[in-house]
Chain A
Amino acid sequence: METDAVLIERSARGRPDAFVEVVRRHEVAVHGYLARRAGRQAADDLLGEVWVRAFGGRGGFDPAHADARPWLYGIARNVLRAHWRAGRPADQPGVVEAVDPWEDVIDRLDSAAAARTREMVGAVRALPPEEREVLLLVAWEQLTPAQAALVLGIPPGTARSRLHRARAALRPVLAGEGS
């Protein structure tokens, strides 16, 4: 099977339809990424925008990475941030970079969570946003720390450090969960 990188490169060299195969490979995963963070309705609405942005920006894809998922998640992340910014009150323009909708995410998850899981939710909620983001890319999207670093545009070592700190913070909760 051809890698995502081969297909994306081909799509940029006169065969734009080759990009559709990349999207088919990852559409469920990217929809899940959006749905976990913004809910299913928003995921349904935003998925097409992710594809169009990715298609338009495919010239910037680094073919050294055979798997396109981290790149696609990075684009989905930007689409989400724009979506959340658009939902903010107009009188708060100064908080654009501080967008963190975790309260909404928790509210949605919490409604379906068992009591024991709520403890874990609380611990995740208490994490610094930058650590939480790495942790959830690894736990939810099944990425390696190096791939999570690609999504976030940070050095791999930074992603590893953040993941290490997040896991250390959650360890007491996770250790008690199975007992």
Chain B
Amino acid sequence: MNGDPPDLDRLDRPDLDRLDRLGRVDPPAPGVLDVALEVLWSAVAAEMLATAPHEQRRIAEPGAEEAAGQPRREDPSAP
């Protein structure tokens, strides 16, 4: 456990371990976990796409940096 205090109920488990037999299931078939993970990745990608262009648009807008409290960057091509 990640930092949870010792638990007396947990230390006295022999009877519960017998119950454990009732709940044994085979591990998921190959590919099942990947399919579920793909569903998650779709949600992650959608969120990244929803936020990234917004940030880029905001910075690209004239005066956006000053509005955000940042100084305007020098134009590197200026003489």
Verify if A167 is at the interface (C-beta below 8 Å from B). Answer: yes
Q: Count CB-based A-B contacts (< 8 Å).
A: 125
- Please provide the chain A residues from 121 to 155 with a CB less than 8 Å away from any CB of chain B in the complex: 121, 124, 135-136, 138-140, 144-147
Task: Check if B36 sits within 8 Å of A51, measured CB to CB.
Answer: yes
CB neighbours (8 Å) of B38 from chain A are: 48
Stretch at the interface among B43-51, B56-64, B71-79: B43-51
Task: Check if A55 sits within 8 Å of B44, measured CB to CB.
Answer: yes
- Interface size of A in residues (CB-CB distance below 8 Å): 51
- Interface size of B in residues (CB-CB distance below 8 Å): 35
The 3 closest A-B pairs by CB, nearest first: A48-B39, A66-B2, A140-B23
A16-B44, A40-B28 known; 10 new pairs, CB 8 Å cut-off, are: A20-B37, A31-B28, A40-B26, A40-B29, A138-B9, A144-B4, A145-B7, A171-B15, A177-B18, A178-B18
Verify if B22 is at the interface (C-beta below 8 Å from A). Answer: yes
Task: Check if B9 sits within 8 Å of A163, measured CB to CB.
Answer: yes
